[in-house]
Amino acid sequence: MDVGSGRSRGSYAPMSEINVTPFVDVFLVLLVVFMVTAPLLAVGVPVDLPQTEAASLEEKQEPITISIDLEGNIYVQETEVSLEDLVPRLLAISRSREETRIYVRGDKNVEYGRVLIAMGQITAAGFSKVALISELPPKRIQ
């Protein structure tokens, strides 16, 4: 036995290598979680949009999205609101700036009047940049 070092011959030396297996396991689990949840974060309210040939608009500021689902429920971003609370909610979100762009997403099977009533209230409140959102039709292979 070596008296000077304080260790016996049978003791193990500490390992100086990093074990990356737990790191890789955690990383792969997080990757799978994000892959599953990312598509769910893309659109808040499921709405079946009509299809048009119009080109997309370029945006500098993120717009406020109003969605009207098949049952006629109105959502500001992802929060359901009543028709009476729509304008106060928009004014609170936009900080009373009427130049804020507002996109209206209406399900293609919802009553047309429901979308027009919501748009009428928005424009009557002074918001002038109100646009309807649609999907591009599938491209035909010729």
Assigned domain for 3 exists: no
What is the band of 41 on the pLDDT scale with cuts at 50, 70, 90?
A: low
Assigned domain for 80 exists: yes
Note the pLDDT of residue 9: 63
The answer on pLDDT for 134 being more than 60 is yes
- Using CA atoms, how far residue 134 sits from 62, 80, 102, 108, 129, in Å, is 17, 21, 14, 9, 16
- The tally of domains found in the chain comes to 1
Q: Provide the CATH number for the domain around residue 99.
A: 3.30.420.270
Residue of higher predicted confidence among 49 and 76: 76
Assigned domain for 47 exists: no
Check residue 137 and give left, alpha or beta (phi > 0: left; psi -120 to 50: alpha).
beta
Host domain of residue 68: 64-132
Give this prediction's pTM.
Answer: 0.54
